[in-house]
């Protein structure tokens, strides 16, 4: 019997084609990287608004292009225009705060001295016991840090104003991509499901979990953050706090952090009001923060997310901070999504192994 020395061509071809697919995919991702944010948000918006697109599709006699155009117009009116308006107000207020710091009109050291002068004697004695009575040094350090922070915000605001063209281009890419993802999304999803080399049941669970996690994360984090930021900004505007839009945006970002969130902003302001004698402002802000802003996270998040996809607070905190450290501002979405998918994949793996063990014949 003569042994064949011919190599396993089908196996070699399969391996070569697999590596070719990986290389081409990485090259394509490299090309798209400059527009990563636009592609990311176009995909997220498509996942969020596909239910609206499907309802419009039924009412428009299955005319996919028309339904996609109407959905894109709704997204432009409900998402893009408010974002542009808020960004413009944020730029103006950030520059205003920086100018007031530079002119000396806004002196954080004075606020510190007002608070310290209003403290009871026993608190002052306690501070002296712990060596915290060097108020001049504290005032200088606080002023320096706040000025640096205002310079950072002003620089970012100036960059936003200078990069208007890039912003317009990215918005156009988002809307353009959103149109095709809505219109051709079902065909694209079907092709991806077919190409992924997983068991049909695993693909079904993984894709369904991915869509659910995207929607839950964006609605549960972004929507809640926006609502808390708007409420906090309105409260500051009503109480006469300078730059309410700026503080509202800060509270919106901080609300992404579980447990503490936007309270890191409104609690110190309420304490300042109480110490300096503005009792009704302080009490009103505390009541509004606890019973309105605080309840938004507990009530609205449960309505939007539900219990099935809720992650532990410590996972959300670490994933959000890690995501923002790696991906910048997009990380507050990417981080929790990656964490949720990590937990979903391992949950599916554990379930699959449990089913296999149950189906194994007894020894």
pLDDT of residue 103: 66
> How many domains is the chain partitioned into structurally?
2
pLDDT digits (tens, 9 = 90+) for 34-76: 888 888 889 888 888 988 999 998 888 888 889 999 999 999 9
Q: Is residue 159 part of a domain?
A: yes
pLDDT at 69: 93
Residue span of the structural domain in which 132 resides: 35-195
- Residue 243: count other Cβ atoms within 10 Å of its Cβ: 22
pLDDT band at 155 (very low <50, low <70, confident <90, very high): low
Residue 1 lies in a domain: no
Last residue of a domain, one of 195, 226, 254: 195
pTM of the complete model beyond 0.75: no
Q: What is the DSSP string of 99-142?
A: HHHHHTSS-HHHHHHHHHHHS-HHHHHHHHHTT---HHHHHHHH
Across the range 315-324, mean pLDDT stands at 81
Q: Is residue 89 part of a domain?
A: yes
d(CA 221, CA 214): 10
Among 297, 293, 342, smallest CA distance to 315 is for 342
> Token pair of 105, please?
């009109």
| CA nearest to 308, candidates 344, 354, 351 | 344
Domain final residue pick, 195, 210, 233? 195
Query: CA–CA separation, 96 vs 98, rounded Å?
Result: 5
Same domain, 279 and 176: no
pLDDT tens, residue by residue, 194-233: 777 777 777 777 777 777 777 777 777 778 888 888 898 8
Task: Name the one residue in this structure whose structure tokens are 């915290």.
Answer: 132
Of 321 and 146, the structure prediction assigns the larger pLDDT to 321
Largest CA-CA distance found in the chain, in angstroms, rounded: 103
Distance CA 321, CA 241 (A): 28
Percentage of residues in the chain with pLDDT exceeding 90? 8
Mean residue pLDDT of the chain comes to 76
Task: Please answer whether residues 39 and 177 qualify as being in contact, where contact means their C-beta atoms are separated by less than 8 angstroms.
Answer: yes
- DSSP secondary structure string for all residues of 146-201: HHHHHHHHHHHHHHHHHTHHHHHHHHHHHHHHHHHHHHHHHHHHHHHHHHS-S-HH
pLDDT for position 148: 59
Do 147 and 245 sit in the same domain of this protein?
A: no
Of 72-86, 103-117, 167-181, 311-325, the poorest mean pLDDT is in: 103-117
């Amino acid at each position: 019997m003569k042994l064949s020395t011919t190599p396993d061509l089908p196996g070699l071809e399969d391996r070569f084609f697999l590596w070719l697919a990986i290389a081409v995919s990485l090259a394509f991702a490299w090309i798209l990287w400059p527009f990563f944010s636009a592609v990311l948000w176009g995909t997220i918006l498509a996942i969020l608004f596909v239910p609206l697109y499907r309802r419009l599709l039924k009412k428009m006699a299955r005319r996919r292009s028309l339904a996609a155009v109407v959905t894109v117009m709704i997204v432009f009116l409900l998402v893009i225009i408010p974002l542009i308006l808020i960004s413009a107000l944020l730029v103006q207020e950030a520059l205003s705060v920086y100018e007031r710091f530079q002119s000396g009109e806004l002196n954080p050291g004075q606020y510190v001295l007002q608070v310290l002068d209003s403290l009871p004697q026993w608190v002052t004695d306690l501070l002296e016991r712990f060596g915290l009575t060097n108020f001049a040094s504290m005032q200088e350090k606080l002023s320096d840090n706040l000025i640096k922070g205002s310079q950072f915000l002003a620089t970012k605001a100036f960059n936003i104003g200078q990069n208007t063209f890039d912003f317009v281009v990215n918005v156009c890419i988002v809307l353009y991509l959103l149109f095709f993802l809505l219109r051709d999304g079902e065909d694209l999803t079907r092709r991806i499901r077919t190409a992924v080399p997983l068991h049909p049941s695993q693909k079904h669970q993984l894709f369904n979990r991915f869509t659910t996690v995207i929607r839950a994360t964006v609605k549960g984090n972004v929507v809640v953050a926006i609502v808390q930021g708007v409420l906090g900004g309105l409260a500051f505007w009503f109480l006469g706090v300078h730059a309410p839009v700026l503080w509202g945006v800060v509270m919106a970002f901080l609300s992404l952090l579980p447990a503490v969130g936007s309270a890191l902003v409104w609690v110190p302001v309420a304490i300042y009001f109480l110490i300096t004698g503005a009792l009704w402002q302080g009490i009103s802000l505390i009541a509004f923060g606890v019973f309105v802003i605080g309840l938004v996270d507990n009530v609205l998040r449960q309505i939007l997310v539900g219990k099935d996809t809720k992650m532990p607070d410590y996972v959300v905190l670490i994933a959000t901070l890690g995501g923002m450290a790696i991906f910048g501002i997009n990380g507050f979405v990417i981080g929790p999504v990656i964490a949720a998918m990590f937990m979903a994949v391992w949950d599916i793996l554990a379930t699959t192994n449990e089913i296999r063990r149950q189906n194994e014949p007894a020894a």
